[in-house]
Amino acid sequence: MSHAAPFNYRNAKLNCESAQLDFIAREFGTPCYVYSRAALVAAFAEFDTAFAGRDHLVCYAVKANSNLAILNLFAGLGSGFDIVSSGELHRVLKAGGDPGKVVFSGVGKRPDEMRAALAAAILCFNVESAAELKVLNQVARDMNKIAPVSLRVNPDVDAKTHPYISTGLKENKFGIPFEEAETVYVSAQSLTNIRVTGLDCHIGSQLTELDPFIAACGKMLGLLDRLEARGLRIGHLDLGGGLGISYSRETPPLAREYVAALSGCVGRRKQRILIEPGRAMVGNAGLLLTRVEYLKHTPHRDFAIVDAAMNDLMRPALYDAYHEILPVIAANADNAIPYQVVGPVCETGDFLGHDRNLALSEGDLLAIMSAGAYGMSMSSNYNTRPRAAEVMVDGDQCHLIRERESLEQLTAQERILPARIPG
């Protein structure tokens, strides 16, 4: 089973910590995202404590799940944050995050986003091109500020993951090509409002082996030595994120094994180490609760039509991603048949799982597991469907951390054209 320890059956009912999921469905409706506070705290602690006495900062990748309650929880634990937009910066600040622990990544930062980040006094901009460096220098000059910068270098390392979430190959849009990095670093030194503070790389997401991380780290350290030989002072080494989780049978390294490998690679160097885990901190801490609306039996296939859809959980449609699907109330497995678990959206790509052996009746509840990362944060209003509620479980307490959207909210920003005046 891939589901994390906080999700367990007791008396044939699936629980999140000490709360029954069927109770949560009655209380808050479906579809509904459910997260375990204990799992979130444990995931952060595993990364943070693995560094032992080494100077480090764990920067949670906000894009994985940006709910204010989750950000606030991590901020309280001392987490930093890896952001990719001014919207994410706004969320971090609203959730009580420390701007001095924020790194700003992403290939397309706009001048207004740079201004917001400079005004907030963030820790560092992870700059991804020479063109961006030039614009950032100008924006900082206009504000009479110095922008702290690390260059995101593309190490051309194969992350061995899905091509859509591989970011460290030379054909990807991310980062500065490895062979150009030294030149760009030297040119950055001459910019009046840029202060080079770090070196950054990120090679992809959902990595299940340590070798690509070690290869990228080794290349970064070689570059670091060359930069220091040129007199550049590099204060921190940002080795990115990307550690995978178990969705079905994957066996990714544990957080402590990942940190130990990076620390061993860096060795005695004094630079502060930054990492940017996202999925590994929230993925297995959440699930999507959904109800079976109809069972549709055809001569070719059997369909379980549920009330959650691709707009709620995009990953299966986008990546053909696998999520384990469990009955909330365990049924007799002897009656199980292979179901296509599909949503009500008008797309053949609207599926949550293919060929799942389940014993189902209409009205049954299902838990789509490992949905804490890139679930709610990628959800949409396609087919004018309100986005799901989100609930955080703390022991036996259930807290609504996002209300389900109303239909009125979905149309509140829209305007009908004024009547045309004849003639």
Per-residue pLDDT tens digits for 197-244: 999 998 888 899 999 889 999 999 999 999 999 999 999 999 999 999
Q: Indicate if 301 and 216 belong to the same structural domain.
A: no
pLDDT value, residue 206: 87
Q: Indicate if 220 and 237 belong to the same structural domain.
A: yes
Domain count across the chain: 2
In the predicted model, what is the mean pLDDT of residues 234-262? Answer: 94
Q: Indicate if 262 and 303 belong to the same structural domain.
A: no
Q: What pTM was estimated for this model as a whole?
A: 0.95
* pLDDT higher than 50, residue 6: yes
Q: Indicate if 115 and 149 belong to the same structural domain.
A: yes
Contact 280, 46 (CB under 8 A): no
Mean pLDDT of the chain: 93
Determine the Cα–Cα distance for residues 309 and 294; give it in Å rounded to an integer: 14
Phi, then psi, of 218 in degrees rounded to 5: -60, -45
Query: For the stretch 115-132, what's the b/e string if a residue is b when 16 or more beta carbons lie within 10 angstroms of its beta carbon?
Result: bbbbebebbbbbbbbeeb
Tens digit of pLDDT for each residue in 301-346?
A: 999 999 999 999 999 999 899 999 999 999 888 889 999 999 999 9
SS3 at position 407 = helix
Determine the Cα–Cα distance for residues 114 and 408; give it in Å rounded to an integer: 34
Structural domain including 156 reads 105-277
State which amino acid sits at residue 307: D
Q: In sequence order, which residues have a C-beta less than 8 Å from that of residue 332 and are 6 or more positions away?
A: 359
Residues 59, 201, 346, 398: which is the catalytic one? Answer: 346
Going by pLDDT thresholds of 50, 70 and 90, the confidence category of residue 156 is confident
230 within some domain: yes
In the predicted model, what is the mean pLDDT of residues 249-272? Answer: 94
Determine the Cα–Cα distance for residues 73 and 281; give it in Å rounded to an integer: 12
Contact 365, 289 (CB under 8 A): yes
In the chain the first and final C-alpha atoms are separated, in Å, by 70
Q: Indicate if 251 and 312 belong to the same structural domain.
A: no
Last residue of a domain, one of 222, 249, 277: 277
Q: Indicate if 263 and 287 belong to the same structural domain.
A: no
217 among known catalytic residues: no
State both tokens at 56. Answer: 């480090």
25: domain CATH number is: 2.40.37.10
Tens digit of pLDDT for each residue in 72-94?
A: 999 999 999 999 999 999 999 99
> Kind of pairing, strands 194-200 and 147-154?
parallel
Tens digit of pLDDT for each residue in 24-74?
A: 999 999 999 999 999 999 999 999 999 988 999 999 999 999 999 999 999
SS3 at position 342 = strand
In the chain, % of residues over pLDDT 90:
86
Last residue of a domain, one of 226, 243, 277: 277
pLDDT value, residue 51: 96
